[in-house]
Amino acid sequence: MSYLEIKSGINGDYVSFVKKISLMGGNFLIKQHIGKKLPTISKEKYLMDNIESLTEMEFSFRKKFISDIMDKISYSEELPFDTERKSIKINNLMEAKACHDIIYSEFAKEFIFNSNNIEGSKIPREKVLEIIDRGDTKYKNRNEVREVLNSVNAFDYIRKGFKFNIPSVKRLYYILTDGLSMENGEAYPKGFKQIPNIIGNSPTAAPECVEDELNNLLKWYRSSSGKVHPLILAFDFHKKYEYIHPFLDGNGRTGRLIMNKILISGGYFPVIVFNENKLSYFNSIQKARQDKGKKYYKFMLSQADKTYDLILDALQKY
C-alpha cells in the first residue's frame, strides 16, 4: 500500500508519494516528491497519473527475485517478466481506483465458472454471473446453482477466514460441498476420504495417511513462507495437495482456492485455471509428478498471464 507523506517547510506543507514494498526479506522504498500541498493532490490521482513509471520502479525491485527462479519456472524471460509487470500494475490500478471489492467480485465470477466447469459442471457462464449478481437464478439444475453459491462463500472464506491448518482445510471443503449431491445422488461425505482415489493413472495418498501427509504439507508451507518465492510456493503447494487428494471429491476446487490464498498473501493477484485449458492442466500436474516440473510452472504462469489480461481489461471500465 502507498500513502502521501506531508512535511512542513518554511513556505508551507510539501507532499511526497511513498510506497513500501517487501518480498522474501527484501525491502524497497519508492519515494517521489510531488510539491507543495494543494487540494487537488491525492494518492489516487498520483498513482493514476504515474501508473506506468511506478509499475516499472516496483518491477525493477521484484525482477531479481523472478530471475533467481527463472531456471525452474520458464524457458525464457518473457512470460515470467510480463506476468510480474501485469500483477504489479493490477495492484496499483486497484489502489488508484479504490475498486478492490469490485475487481475481486469480477474475478470470482470467472474463477467460479471455470473452476466448477473443470470439475464437470455444465451451468452456463451467464447463469453463474446471474447467481453471483442476484443471489439466485431459475436455472433448472438446482444442485449446480447451490454449487455456485457455495463457491461464492468459499472464495469469501479464503480471502477473510482461512488459516493454514487442518480445521480450515476441512471447513473450506464443507463450505464448497454443503447441501450438494454427487453424481450418484448421494450427499458429499463429511471429512477426509475413506476409500482410495486416483488422478490420471496415479494413486494418491492412502486414506489412513491423508491427515499426516496434509499436516506435513501445511508445515512445509508455514516453514517456507517468506523463504520460497510466492509463485513457487503457491504452485508447489497446489501440485502437492493434488497428489494427496484428501477428499473423495472437491480436491481441485479446494486446491485452486488455497493456491490463490497463497498468491494473495504473497502480494500477487489470484489466478484462474481456465476450463478450455483443463486437459493441459491435468497433463502438466501429471508430468510434474514425473519430475518434469518446468512444463507445470510454465502452464500455471500462462494461466496467470491470461488471468491478468482479463483483469486489466476489467479495470479499464472503472
Q: Where are the beta strands (DSSP E) in the chain?
A: 2-9, 12-23, 26-36, 198-199, 202-203
**Residues in a beta bridge with 6:** 15
pLDDT tens sequence for the chain (318 residues):
899 999 998 888 999 999 999 999 899 999 999 999 888 889 999 999 999 999 999 999 999 999 999 988 877 889 999 999 999 999 999 999 999 999 999 999 999 999 999 998 999 999 999 999 998 888 899 999 999 999 999 999 999 999 999 999 999 999 999 999 887 888 888 899 999 988 877 889 999 999 999 999 999 999 999 999 999 999 999 999 999 999 999 999 999 999 999 999 999 999 999 999 999 999 999 888 877 668 999 999 999 999 999 999 999 988
Whole-number pLDDT of residue 293: 67
Four-way CATH pick for 100-315: 3.30.2320.80, 1.10.230.10, 3.60.20.10, 1.10.3290.10 = 1.10.3290.10
Sequence length of the chain is 318
Give one DSSP letter per residue of 240-290, joined into a string.
Answer: HHHHH--SSS-HHHHHHHHHHHHHHHTT-------GGGHHHHHHHHHHHHT
Whole-number pLDDT of residue 1: 84
Distance, CA of 318 to CA of 2 (rounded, Å)? 20
Where, residue-wise, is CATH 1.10.3290.10 in the chain?
100-315
Whole-number pLDDT of residue 178: 95
